[in-house]
């Protein structure tokens, strides 16, 4: 990169300052990250690694046959390798485990076979290598204990079920919360594969896979912006439109694809990735949007404009509805953390009237 050795060593020294000092362990290096902002991985001697999930928790990975240092800060949770009996209650990391060939470490699942769009996960349940162990908010505790579960991977939904998390931890099972949905860059979300790679000692596989995805997006960078506006949303159970935070990775995908997020100026400091607004506010901002994309991953599919209008009759007055430019995402989108380039490509095809048969996630509403 044209950096002098002095610059490189001062960079390494800088990283050194951020690296937590752990009793009895010697810091070696910090994982190199390009887009992810929500975690860091620090490497120590003899294969010890510290996972720092920002604003949340820290985990020390202890290699097989080794023990955690004696005076370790009690707030740091211990993940003892091999991590070969994982309860996967979150859905988005499964694709990343699949991409590094580690689905076999997941023995317990928060979805049944019919809920997985990731073939290797559905197959593992169907042939008995993985067991449905209850949804994230109703896990089968006896099964977790009986199968000697060594880690529960949860989505941020667990924050709404603190008693469940407490119970799992009481059983001596560490709980790891996947916060990849808080990444502002689409590739930041995919880069969580490097964190799971560290957990599974598959850093090389993770890096190779991530670099391929980064190349796919690099190729998409040269799209000229069409200046067409897009509203990405769904209607929640109480009838309110829910849109993405403008700092969110979906908003970023719309821009990369060559569009403009119609809610780019939405004021929201909650830090949440989704924001519920009033129908009036939604109408005022999105009535003239060129395209509507309905997020079918949350509340099930709406495949027709008449179903959309049944949710609120105001939709018949929207420009995109009149022009027939209403699309929806398939339910498998949320599990597809590994193929961010595909949705960007889909959006680009949508914005340029490209060939819809080449799309992976988007379908046009009839």
Give the residue-averaged pLDDT of 306-327.
94
Residue 322 has pLDDT above 90, yes or no: yes
pLDDT of residue 54: 95
* Cβ-based neighbour number of residue 137 at 10 Å: 14
pLDDT of residue 309: 93
Give the tens place of pLDDT for each residue, 76-108: 999 999 999 999 999 989 999 999 999 999 999
Per-residue confidence band for 69, with pLDDT thresholds at 50, 70 and 90: very high
Residues 6+ apart with CB under 8 A from 235: 241, 242, 299, 311, 312
Give the tens place of pLDDT for each residue, 188-245: 999 999 999 999 999 999 999 999 988 888 877 777 889 999 999 999 988 999 998 8
pLDDT of residue 273: 80
Computed over its alpha carbons, how large is the radius of gyration of the chain? 22
Tokens for 130? 């993985």
| Closest listed residue to residue 48, CA positions, set 13, 11, 74, 22 | 22
**Could you tell me if 347 and 360 are in contact, meaning their C-beta atoms sit under 8 angstroms apart?**
no
**How many Å apart are CA 179 and CA 31, to the nearest integer?**
18
**How many Å apart are CA 88 and CA 288, to the nearest integer?**
41
- In three-state form (DSSP H/G/I as H, E/B as E, the rest C), the secondary structure along 344-359 is HHHHHHHHCCCCHHHC
């Amino acid at each position: 990169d044209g950096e002098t050795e002095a610059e490189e060593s001062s960079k390494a020294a800088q990283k050194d300052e951020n690296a937590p000092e752990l009793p009895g362990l010697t810091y070696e290096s910090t994982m190199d990250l390009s887009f992810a902002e929500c975690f860091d991985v620090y490497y120590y001697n003899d294969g010890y690694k510290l996972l720092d999930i920002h604003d949340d928790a820290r985990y020390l990975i202890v290699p097989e046959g080794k023990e955690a240092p004696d005076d370790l800060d009690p707030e740091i949770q211990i993940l003892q390798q091999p991590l070969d009996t994982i309860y996967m209650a979150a859905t988005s990391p499964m694709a990343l485990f699949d991409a590094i060939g580690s689905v076999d470490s997941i023995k317990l699942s928060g979805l049944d076979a019919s809920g997985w769009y990731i073939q290797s996960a559905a197959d593992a349940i169907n042939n008995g290598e993985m067991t449905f162990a209850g949804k994230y908010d109703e896990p089968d505790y006896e099964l977790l204990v009986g199968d000697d579960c060594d880690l529960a991977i949860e989505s941020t939904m667990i924050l709404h079920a603190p008693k469940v998390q407490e119970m799992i931890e009481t059983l001596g099972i560490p709980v790891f919360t996947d916060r990849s949905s808080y990444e502002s860059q689409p590739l930041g979300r995919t880069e969580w594969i490097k964190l799971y790679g560290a957990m599974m000692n598959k850093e090389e596989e993770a890096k190779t896979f991530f670099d391929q995805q980064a190349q796919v997006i690099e190729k998409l960078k040269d799209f000229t912006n069409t200046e067409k506006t897009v509203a990405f949303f769904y209607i929640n159970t109480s009838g309110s439109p829910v849109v993405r935070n403008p700092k969110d990775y979906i908003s970023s995908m719309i821009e990369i694809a060559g569009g403009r997020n119609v809610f780019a100026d939405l004021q929201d400091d909650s830090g949440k990735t989704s924001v519920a607004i009033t129908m009036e506010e939604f109408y005022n901002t999105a009535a003239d949007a060129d395209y509507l994309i309905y997020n079918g991953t949350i509340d099930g599919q709406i495949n027709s404009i008449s179903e959309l209008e049944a949710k609120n009759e105001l939709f018949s007055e929207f420009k995109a509805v009149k022009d027939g430019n209403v699309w929806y995402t398939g339910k498998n989108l949320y599990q597809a953390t590994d193929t961010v380039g595909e949705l960007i490509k889909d959006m680009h095809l949508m914005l340029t009237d490209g060939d819809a048969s080449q799309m992976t996630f988007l379908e046009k509403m009839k």
